Amino acid sequence: MAQFTGTHVLITGGGSGIGLACAKLFLEAGATVAIAGRDQKKLDDSARRLGGGERIVSFAADVADPDQATRMVQAVETKFGKIDILVNNAGTNIKDRSFRQLTPEIWQKLIRTNLDGAFYCIHAAFPGMLARTNGLIININSIAGKRATPLGGLAYAASKFGMTALGIGLGAEEKDSGIRVTNIYPGEVDTPILEFRPTPVTDEHRQRILKPEDIARGVLYVASQPPHVSIPELIIKPVSQAYV
């Protein structure tokens, strides 16, 4: 029997990059997976490529909208009966990242997508997990949530620092309820978000950095731990990237 047979997983930002890689590994390990994102066609195309038959479904939602996030979580719970693992992976960035370039509109866009979106999904999935006294929430954060460097930009770092506090604080509050929370902090990863870099990323640079599968393996490692084991934080970075 596959390790995650009978486990139901919801992955936001699941149509590409890290989310798609997580969906692939969970499916291979026997889980039932829902991938979510804003583009239904992209999600459907990704689901078809993954295979998995009835064990893979997709739901379109903008997690920055609390009503859409709630409806999406409720739809997954209706389809699966429960959500055992929530992977908060949806996120974005912008090209004009310095403080001098920021506007209130850009600031709000990043906070709403990267931080508020994670909160809305957790808030919607939490009651079911609490009722069962069991659940795992994995937040795909960023090294920018530990180090506010110019690489990610100030607004992105602020959203990710907030995500850090959300995960650590929730895990501390719920340590006796059976709900575990893990923040994973990837360094540079070769995903579509690189398209928003101020300076184009070369092929040589892409070869040196992490691949989505590297983070997905970390997600499955966290998810494979027994219920009495909690991993609050996990940093994964390419060897070539400094962590200072």
132: pLDDT strictly greater than 80: yes
Give the residue with greater pLDDT, 193 vs 26: 26
pLDDT at 60 over 70: yes
Instruction: Convert the chain into a string of H (helix), E (strand) and C (coil).
Output: CCCCCCCEEEEECCCCHHHHHHHHHHHHCCCEEEEEECCHHHHHHHHHHHCCHHHEEEEECCCCCHHHHHHHHHHHHHHHCCCCEEEECCCCCCCCCCHHHCCHHHHHHHHHHHHHHHHHHHHHHHHHHHHHCCEEEEEECCHHHCCCCCCCCHHHHHHHHHHHHHHHHHHHHCCCCCEEEEEEEECCECCHHHHHCCCCCCHHHHHHCECHHHHHHHHHHHHCCCCCCCCCEEEECCCCCCCC
**Residue 124 CA, distance from chain mean position:** 15
Answer yes or no: is pLDDT of 227 > 80.
yes
Q: Rounded to whole angstroms, how far apart are CA atoms 123 and 88? A: 12
User: How many beta carbons lie within 10 A of that of residue 19, not counting itself?
Assistant: 28
| pLDDT at 244 (0 to 100) | 82
- In this prediction, residue 120 carries a pLDDT of 98
Residue 182 has phi, psi (to 5 degrees) of -130, 130
Region 105-131: mean pLDDT is 97
Task: Give mean pLDDT, residues 138-167.
Answer: 97
Q: In the structure encoding, which two tokens stand for residue 197, read together?
A: 């870099």
Give the pLDDT confidence score for residue 147 in this predicted structure: 95
| pLDDT at residue 89 is higher than 80 | yes
What is residue 196's predicted lDDT score, i.e. its pLDDT? 87
Residue pLDDT, tens place only, 173-184:
999 999 999 999
Residue pair 155/105 in contact (Cβ under 8 Å)? The answer is no
Mean pLDDT of the chain: 96
Which domains, from first to last, does the chain contain? Answer: 8-236 (3.40.50.720)
DSSP bridge partners of 59 = 36
Catalytic residues: 156
Rounded to an integer, the average pLDDT of 152-168 is 97
pLDDT for residue 2? 86
Q: What pLDDT sits at residue 97? A: 93
| pLDDT for the residue 1 | 53
Cβ atoms within 10 Å, residue 191: 21
Identify the weakest region by mean pLDDT among 32-46, 83-97, 187-201: 187-201
Prediction pTM value = 0.96
Q: What local confidence, expressed as pLDDT, does residue 135 receive?
A: 98
Mean pLDDT confidence for 111-130: 98
